[in-house]
Amino acid sequence: MADTKQFLPQIKEFFRRADMLLFALSLTCALFGLVAISSATQHFSTGPARYIIVQLLGIGIGVAAYVVITLIDLDIFAQHWKWLYAASAALFVLLIFFGEGDETTGNNGWLRFAGIGIQPTEIIKLAFIVVMAKHLVYLKTRRDLNSFASIAQLAGHFILMFGVIIVTASDLGSALVYFFIFAVMMFMAGVRIYWFMIGFAAIAAMVPLAWTYFLEDYQKNRILAPYNPDIDPLNNGVNWQPHQAEIAIGSGQIYGTGYGEGTQTQAGAVPSQHTDFIFSVIGEEFGFIGCCLVLLLLTAIVVRCVHVGLRSGDNTCALVCFGVAASVVFQTFENVGMCIGIAPVVGITLPFFSYGGSSVASMFMAMGLVSGVRYRPKPVRYRLY
């Protein structure tokens, strides 16, 4: 009884200072996703039990990590950025020697232990956000952020990470998420627009080279298919997945067919419908209302992350919050775009909703970083802009 009385004030203090609204939004998304995953795997020969257990395990680990990370000062993570990068490098080395491909995602970015897959790029993404924030603030406060030397450092920082992801994991989807995070954090830190114009011009100049010498034909077709109907006019090739997803979402209409009643879903007509194409399951069985609820919840999470960042009073904390928000924004737009046929299929999960223990756990960890910013507000040291 004495122990309970001793810890009760600390528990109350945690609930008062931590971002419980962000936690509630995240948990609601994860539980909604669990329901959709349960329906999406009903027709599997092994049944839905294994997938539900793995997802619940991921949610449980994520919730525990949310609490722990909330309690750790973000400055501690930022000060030990070398250790974060060392851990990231170790994970990339493991991918080189032990990485496995996944037929549903088309990348080689998985480590498997006892039949359970872990995607290291999801975890490394958090280290990238923290270290990039630290790098930007260092250049802003001690150097000239918009000097050529500073921009070259930042570009080298990102290009190294982007290249390592492509080489070790062959995961274009994750690499694009990193690129969007990088661009948003650069903009919010105060990098001038002309540097973005120069950067995009350089990328545009390199596209023909990459297109000619680095991309395989199937990758080119996957990129062009949403915009060129002549590539797969019968929708039985590269367009098969998004086409089936469109049929599923369209058949749900306003209110959906109901849990476990989706024709496309229960027939397993949409490949990877429990992972990358979970939005098609929600669209068919929960209808337009269900889709709007998903987008509303994820939008609320993004707005909350930005709100906490703007009120943090510290550049590093603010940039971390913006980086987390950028990750959710890009993954949501790309994943939903894949499902409705307006974006290439590149293997990106829908945050909190798609099946994957490492994916859902890493999202809770990311939210823990934001919650930690709110838990321990800083004095206003300097303005972000």
| pLDDT at 299 (0 to 100) | 97
- 132-157 confidence digits (pLDDT tens): 999 999 999 888 899 999 999 999 98
Q: Where are the domains of the chain?
A: 16-375
| pLDDT at 105 (0 to 100) | 47
CA distance 79 to 282: 42
Q: Which residues of the chain have pLDDT under 70?
A: 1-6, 99, 101-108, 113-116, 378-385
318, 309 contact by CB (below 8 A): yes
Report the b/e string of 345-356 with b at 16+ CB within 10 A: bbbbbbbbbbbb
| pLDDT at 3 (0 to 100) | 58
Q: With residue 111 as reference, give the H or E element that holds it.
A: strand 107-113
| pLDDT at 376 (0 to 100) | 81
User: Can you list the alpha helix ranges (DSSP code H) found in 340-381?
Assistant: 357-375
CA distance 126 to 325: 12
Instruction: Give CA angle at 95 (212, 132), nearest 5°.
Output: 80
| pLDDT at 104 (0 to 100) | 46
CA distance 172 to 182: 15
| pLDDT at 101 (0 to 100) | 64
Angle between helix axes 357-375 and 120-142 (nearest 10 degrees) is: 30
Phi, psi of 381 (to 5 degrees): -85, -40
| pLDDT at 358 (0 to 100) | 86
Full-model pTM: 0.91
For residue 320, the number of C-alpha atoms closer than 13 Å in the C-beta half-sphere is 28
| pLDDT at 362 (0 to 100) | 93
186, 136 contact by CB (below 8 A): yes
CA distance 364 to 371: 10
